[in-house]
């Protein structure tokens, strides 16, 4: 869990830490969950990832663990899988499309 939180936060190393925290959550409730995570962990969303202390990362991990305990599907969520599914559905061809492209 620590690895997932730290990797997500550092995914956008040169952007504010709230950008990386967003990818921990599904798109449907991303903004509210990100806000909840940062507020409960007492982390300023306008800090850059390298500016965060170990204590702040510990708080983020503890709050994220608590959120995962409340919603077990949250831990299994993978941002990249969501992007992959979006991309596949965007480019999925129907039989009709294939007929005209042949």
Q: What is the pLDDT of residues 63-77, one digit of tens each?
A: 999 999 999 999 989
Q: What is the pLDDT of residues 17-74, one digit of tens each?
A: 999 999 999 988 999 999 999 999 999 999 999 999 999 999 999 999 999 999 999 9
pLDDT of residue 88: 74
State the pLDDT confidence band at 84, using cuts at 50, 70 and 90. Answer: confident
Residue 81: pLDDT band (50, 70, 90) is confident
Tell whether the model's pLDDT for residue 92 goes beyond 90. no
Confidence class for position 100, pLDDT limits 50, 70, 90: low
Instruction: Tell me the domains of the chain and their CATH numbers.
Output: 1-77 (1.10.8.100)
Please compute, for residue 66, the number of CA atoms within 13 A of its CA located in the half-sphere on the CB side. Answer: 12
- pTM of the predicted protein model: 0.79
């Amino acid at each position: 869990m620590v690895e997932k939180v730290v990797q997500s936060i550092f995914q956008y190393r040169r952007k504010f830490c709230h950008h990386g925290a967003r990818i921990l959550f599904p798109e449907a409730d991303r903004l509210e969950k990100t806000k909840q995570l940062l507020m409960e962990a007492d982390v300023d969303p306008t800090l850059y990832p390298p500016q965060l202390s170990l204590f702040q990362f510990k708080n983020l991990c503890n709050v994220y663990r608590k959120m995962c305990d409340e919603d077990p599907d949250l831990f299994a969520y993978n941002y990249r899988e969501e992007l992959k599914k979006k991309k596949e559905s965007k480019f999925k061809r129907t039989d009709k499309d294939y007929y005209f492209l042949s």
